[in-house]
Amino acid sequence: MLPLSLLVLHGPNLNLLGQREPGIYGSLTLEDINRLLMAEALRLEVKVATLQSNHEGVLLDAIHGSLGQHQGIVINAGAYTHTSVALRDAIAAVNLPTVEVHLSNIYRREDFRHHSYIAPAVVGQISGFGVQSYLLGLQALVHHLKKDQV
């Protein structure tokens, strides 16, 4: 059996992690987070590809391109979470199990961050645990995908 292949998408401004509002987002860089994700993927015996973009269309193309390449997606859409019907529609269209993650607890922040356009199209959402949100999201997605293989 081939190992599961998962796509982790990082949205806008996440390339600035480590310097961007560390009181909210922590001091780890995106490179640090990707390194932790790769270590966790190795432990879980899955493959992980990562992509960060500040451009909505690049994220859309990556979601579309995941068909036939990956069995699931972990996404931190950043601010696009609260604005992008297009990302929601792309996730629904490819019909791959997807987990939405956020470093901060979006429900303890500004009111406009309390709504996620993506949430209705995903398996689940994890927010507020810093880098652990990503790791928990990866673990949850793997568990979700493997439960059907047992």
Q: Is 89 annotated as a binding residue?
A: yes
Q: Which of 70, 80, 102, 117 is catalytic?
A: 102
Q: Is 32 annotated as a binding residue?
A: no
Q: Is 102 labeled as catalytic in the residue annotation?
A: yes
Q: Is 25 labeled as catalytic in the residue annotation?
A: yes
Q: Is 113 annotated as a binding residue?
A: yes
CA separation for the pair 141, 66 (Å, rounded): 15
List, in sequence order, the alpha helices (H) in 66-107.
85-94
Q: Is 104 annotated as a binding residue?
A: yes
| Backbone phi and psi for residue 57, each to the nearest 5 degrees, phi listed first | -65, -35
| Backbone phi and psi for residue 74, each to the nearest 5 degrees, phi listed first | -110, 130
Whether 12 and 79 have beta carbons less than 8 Å apart is answered as yes
Q: Which of 10, 25, 80, 117 is catalytic?
A: 25
Whether 25 and 104 have beta carbons less than 8 Å apart is answered as yes
Binding residues for substrate, as ranges, are: 76, 82, 89, 103-104, 113
Write out the catalytic residue numbers.
25, 102
Binding residues, as ranges, are: 76, 82, 89, 103-104, 113
